[in-house]
Structure 1
Amino acid sequence: MKIALFGASGRVGQAFLKLAGNDEQLDIYALLRSPNNKIGLPKERIVIGNARCREHVKEIMKDAQIVISCLGTDGDDTLSAAMTHILAIMQEQHIQRVITIGTAGILNSRIEPGKYRFETNESKRKLTRAAKEHAKVYEMLRASSLDWTIICPTYLPDGEETGEYRAERNVLPVEGKMITVGDTAAFLYHELLTGNYIGCRAGLAY
């Protein structure tokens, strides 16, 4: 199974590769901006380019069955720009499955129904630019006919996988405060194998 991976050099992307990189059933190909990034994949499975460039996105997605995006917001609209290319190419190449890493800010608010968490006092973050960019991607996926999942961790410190976390559809688990990069990557790997959260935002926390 060929997987096109975006954001492989980020924290969750690297942790995911540690878990899934040796799975013989998965052929993971990654798009990287710099040849100096050491992510543990053979050179023939790496494309050097930029997710904002349609041709680079198309190259990494050739013959893929699943797309995984661990891209961050990068301080601009890179995330939504990349997703625009990804969705168009998925349609062209008849790829149905996509899993992305989002943020807990785009989960449904428990205290103000009909709003995202980042739009309410439920979210402790004062800056909303990144959450708005993630929300744009969510709305793009929701409007598609794809089998999509957005994994939405709350506060995300470095740390290893413990396997002891909570996941809930479209909302953050009650009193959820944090989840490590390792456990977020573990959930991503499990979702890749199971597809338990297709068509959902998965809220993650301890």
Structure 2
Amino acid sequence: MKIAMFGATGRVGQQWLKRALAGGHEVKALVRTKKLEPLPGIEVLLGDVRNAEDVERTIEGAEAVFCALGTDRTTTLSQAMPLIINAMEKRGISRIITIGTAGILNSRLTPGVLRYQGGDSNRKLTFSAEEHEKAFRLLENSGLDWTVVCPTYLPDGEARGNYRTEKDFLPEGGREITVGDTAEFAYSELEQAAFLKSRVGLAY
């Protein structure tokens, strides 16, 4: 499969990319600087994900899109997502998997709102969740076949399996999930498509 990728140099992005290349997929990745080494199966484009032309040339020829853009106290994610959606719709590409955050899953404490709004999360700073919510709402209102993978606390670490998933909610008692298992699940969702048009909570 030919995949357009954004966020390839991040923690989850790097792990996901390894799996995609090992699986025989062709990946075209847009990066700001030359942080990615040339590998068989990957085409690296230099550019800015907030620039429509750069996004469009990345998506050109793709069959699916994977986005692991972070927030890092910037609005890059919410600026990029409309461009990604527009480029996909123009080319008739429907499948997109993105990495979100557990803060945008549904609250168990306060029905009708998200976790970061309902007191489920201990985090006091909500900027990251607000950015991820903007991206999620854009996808929700699109006609795309989207999945937002929402890990809880995300320490570094390899995949170890035995994680739990739940549509639109964080699994009860979930405390963490490694970067490796987050990438593993996000990669498996590319082929299984078990959570189309939904968020999925991820935790041990």
> Which TM-score applies when normalising by structure 1?
0.96
Alignment of 1:1-206 (within 5 A): 1-24=1-24, 26-35=25-34, 37-39=35-37, 41-42=39-40, 45-206=43-204
Taking the aligned partners of 1:172 and 1:44, their CA distance within structure 2 comes to 33
The one-character-per-residue Cα deviations of 1:21-68 (angstroms, maximum 9, x if unpaired) are 1222x1111111101x03553597010011011111111110111010
Q: Which structure 1 residue ranges, 5 or more long, are not aligned?
A: none
Q: Secondary structure at the match of 2:183?
A: helix
- 1:63 is paired with a residue whose SS is coil
The structure 1 segments of at least 4 consecutive aligned residues displaced by more than 4 Å after TM superposition are none
CA–CA distance in 2 between the matches of 1:93 and 1:74?
30
Q: Write the distance in 1 (CA, Å) between the matches of 2:113 and 2:36.
A: 40
Whether the 8 Å CA contact 1:17–1:39 is kept in 2: the answer is no
Q: What is the percent sequence identity of the aligned residues? A: 50
CA distance in 2, matches of 1:44, 1:205: 30
Change (3 A) 1:126 1:44: closer
Question: What number of residue pairs does the alignment pair up?
Answer: 204
Q: Gaps spanning 5+ residues in structure 2: where?
A: none
Of residues 116-125 and 172-181 in structure 1, the stretch that sits farther from structure 2 once superposed is 116-125
The answer to whether the 8 A contact 2:21-2:41 is kept is no
Secondary structure of the residue that 1:55 maps to in structure 2? helix
TM-score, with length taken from structure 2: 0.97
Q: What is the one-letter code of the residue matched to 1:182? A: G
Report the alpha carbon displacement of residue 17 of structure 1 after superposing the two structures with TM: 1.5
Distance 1:85 1:98 in 2: 13
Q: Distance in 2 between matches of 1:74 and 1:43?
A: 29
**Any idea what SS the aligned residue of 1:45 has?**
strand
CA distance in 1, matches of 2:163, 2:108: 20
- Residues in 2 aligned to 1:102 and 1:109: alpha-carbon distance in whole angstroms: 15
For the residue of structure 2 that corresponds to 1:149, the secondary structure is: strand
Shift of 1:90: 0.7
